[in-house]
């Protein structure tokens, strides 16, 4: 029981680390919450601070998800609890303890979780995201469609029910977090991706 509690707590705390906010302030002397979409994630960092910031923050947010699942595997070892730790990392990223339970949309952290739990579906989801972003310029559209594909790919590849349910829960969570983007996509006011020149 104690190892489960430690793994769960560490996963949430890892997810809660606001890489975009802290790195933005420490390295680029910029509070991402005051610029662009006001989000602390990689997309707003890319637009506001440039490619290096966007990629760095994406990788760090990705690592939070991957490391949380790894902690679950080391401290507890069951697939079900690895899934729980992954979910807690995503929730921590979006409802951060350090940001009064606000945060990002969970895409990079969710991908880190997926890579550890379902590597091949994670690769396919990333390719779907990348193709859509390249074709349309809309990161949000790529994220929404890619998230929706997670439970479908898990089912098609014969993953056990807990993994399919994780995919469904993660997809719903990420899509709901993009509700404002969906509105802007529908009325044609969503911003396309473009890196700031720094």
Q: In this predicted model, what pLDDT tens digit does every residue of 31-81 receive, in sequence order?
A: 999 998 888 999 999 989 999 999 999 999 999 999 999 999 999 989 999
pLDDT tens digits along 22-33:
999 999 999 999
pTM for the structure as a whole: 0.92
- Whether residue 162 has pLDDT greater than 80: yes
CB contact at 8 A, 134 and 118: no
Contacts of 164 (CB under 8 A, 6+ apart): 151, 154, 155
Task: Give the alpha-carbon dihedral of 16, 21, 23, 29, to 10 degrees.
Answer: -160
Backbone angles phi, psi at 36, to 5 degrees: 55, -125
- Whether residue 198 has pLDDT greater than 90: no
| pLDDT at res. 194 | 78
CB contact at 8 A, 162 and 151: no
Handedness of CA 155, 159, 165, 168 (dihedral sign): negative
| pLDDT at res. 19 | 96
- Whether residue 127 has pLDDT greater than 80: yes
Q: What is the DSSP string of 89-109?
A: HHHHHHSBGGGTTB---SHHH
| pLDDT at res. 192 | 87
């Amino acid at each position: 029981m104690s190892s489960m509690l430690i793994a769960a707590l560490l996963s949430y705390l890892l997810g809660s680390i606001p890489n975009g906010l802290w790195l933005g302030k420490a390295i680029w002397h910029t509070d991402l919450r005051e610029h662009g979409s006001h989000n602390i994630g990689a997309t707003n960092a890319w637009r506001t601070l440039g490619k290096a910031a966007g990629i760095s923050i994406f990788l760090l947010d990705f690592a939070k998800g991957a490391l949380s699942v790894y902690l679950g595997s080391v401290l507890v070892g069951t697939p079900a609890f690895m899934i729980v730790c992954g979910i807690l990392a995503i929730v921590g990223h979006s409802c951060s303890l350090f940001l009064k339970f606000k945060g990002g949309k969970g895409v990079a952290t969710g991908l880190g979780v997926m890579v550890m739990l379902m590597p091949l579906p994670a690769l396919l989801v990333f390719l779907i995201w990348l193709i859509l972003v390249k074709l349309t310029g809309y990161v949000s559209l790529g994220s929404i469609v890619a998230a929706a594909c997670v439970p479908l790919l898990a089912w098609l590849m014969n993953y056990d029910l807990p993994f399919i349910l994780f995919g469904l829960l993660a997809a719903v969570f990420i899509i709901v977090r993009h509700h404002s983007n969906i509105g802007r996509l529908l009325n044609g006011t969503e911003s396309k991706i473009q890196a700031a020149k720094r």
